Chains A and B, each alone.
Chain A
Amino acid sequence: MNESITIQYYLDQVAVQSDTDALKKIYLVYQKKLHRFAMAITKNNEIAEEVVADVFINFWRHRERLLKIDNLNQYLFISTRNIAIRKISEQKQDLIDISLDTLALPTAQISQNPEKLLLDKEVLEIIEKTIASLPPRCQLVYRMAKQEGLKYKEIAAILNISVKTIDAQMAVALKKILSGLKAALKV
């Protein structure tokens, strides 16, 4: 079932009723996504785990404010970004700023359930290979949209870039992926 349909309900439950079960529901929807994003910044599994834990500590601590959030995706990803940057800055004892060209979002575990998988294995491999060969920034934008299901506006806010840049990066990604597919299917 579509998770996003009920997520707003859980958010209200957390904010108004301090419902810990609703928090669990939100956690389960976002935990992997946020961990991947934290990994992209910190490149360290343990630190990434700490980041996600801190994100949800803050989330709970300020739950009364949650009703004012109009975009949960954006809120959680930006929170993850800020905490991750703070952690690596602390570790290196220097203020670190993230460069988009160094961020690599890990690939999500693809479901092996054949009913869910509508594509041939062969086609899948071609697409995955093409994505892996994209320039870092381009790959990051594409994965944020596809894998994490984020909107252009959300990606723009999270990565601190313009929607125009996202338009351009997505165009490059799609051009390459589709021409890769076209060439592969012709053989």
Chain B
Amino acid sequence: MAPRFWNILGRRLTGEITLEELQELEEMLQQDPELYSIVELHDQYFYCPNEDASDQEDESWLKQQHILAQHFPEDFNEQQPASNKLKNKRRRILYYFAAACTLLAVFALQLFRTSDRDIQNTLLSTNTSDITVNILPDGSKVWLNKNSRIKYDEKFGITNRDIHLTGEGFFDVKHMNELPMIVHAGKVKIKVLGTAFNVKYAAGTGKVETSLIRGRVELYNGEDKLILQPNDKVVIDENLVPEKEHIVFKKLNVEPKSGLIPEIAWINNRIVFNEEPFEEVAKKIEEKYNVKIIIEDKELKNEKFTGSFYDETLDIVLTALQLAYDFNYSKSQDKIIITK
């Protein structure tokens, strides 16, 4: 393998790879499947959680606390918790006061802003069969999946970088220190400086999926603020109860054979599955081929599948799936019915 291969392989491990490099790596790995499987094995080692939380930890904190108390008796001495609290309280009041001032300033600014009317909005949308790549006024790139749209106003890239998304988009955001980009997807706001990430939000579903490939993003869901690291995926689904379970953290997984990350495979017009139940597989096929798939067998729905498809016809895809699972299918108009 070329020296460059080893360089970008290393950068991928620490999440510092660019999208272009990721695609390059994928092409190189496809030429050497044996090496690919070893890379996969090593990935698991590299990411393997390697530390045990133990009782020793609390003990070491007690020690540290004792040392801190010698230097800062007013902050760490348990004998005087009252004065400590008072001090904290004073700070807190100051903090709230500062927050209130900021809020007031923001409010005033808003008033000022909304007074200049006639703001022109730009709307970009895709139909049911095309994926588009768009360059935004600030130089950022957005891939828009089928049936998706984004909206921003004429001040975009000048005084704001607010963008509204419905559907699915992959953002490769240009770094602008003073002006973060804010992607609005339903009730979720995603704040970024310069990164690459994918957002999926089907209008009206209350479910927003954010996958971070590189850089750092901040996610706001009401009062919750989350910070994502590369390879983090967060699913916020407000339909889930209780409330705390709205938010689910995952890690992005590369599908072994193709070297692709399922969440962003659509950019290359691919669909990729990594240990996904047949039901989810069917959903992705529905989106790509614009058909309706009905799985009549309950057991079949939960069968797991790993693999990827590119430009194959629907029949080839279905035949390939049949090799993995024993099933029959029949087509009628736009519907495909799957039976055991």
Contact = CB atoms under 8 A, between A and B. Distances in A.
Interface of A: 1-2, 4-9, 16-20, 24, 27-28, 31-32, 52-53, 56-57, 60-61, 108-113, 116-119, 123-124, 127, 145-147, 150-153, 167, 170-175, 177-178, 181-182, 185
Contacts of B15: 151
Contacts, number: 129
A127 B47 CA distance: 13
B280 to A, nearest CB: 22
B48 A118 contact: yes
Contacts of B57: 28, 31
A167 B7 contact: yes
B67 A53 contact: yes
Interface string B48-73: 11111000010011011101100110
Majority SS at the chain A contact face: helix
Contact of B92 (A17, A109, A113, A172): A17
Given A20-B75, A151-B15, A151-B16, A109 B52 contact: yes
20 contacts: A6-B227, A17-B91, A24-B61, A31-B64, A56-B68, A57-B71, A112-B52, A117-B48, A118-B44, A119-B41, A119-B44, A145-B13, A146-B13, A151-B15, A167-B11, A170-B6, A171-B9, A172-B6, A174-B10, A182-B38
Contacts of A16: 91, 95
A5 B42 contact: no
The 8 closest A-B CB pairs, nearest first, are A170-B10, A171-B6, A118-B44, A108-B50, A53-B67, A167-B7, A5-B227, A181-B38
A87 to B, nearest CB: 15
Contact of B45 (A124, A145, A171): A124
B249 interface: yes
Contact of B51 (A9, A32, A150, A151): A32
Nearest to A185: B38
Contact of A2 (B50, B88, B229): B229
A179 to B, nearest CB: 9
B246 interface: no
A171 B67 contact: no
A150 B226 CA distance: 20
Contacts of B321: none
B153 interface: no
A145 B45 CA distance: 12
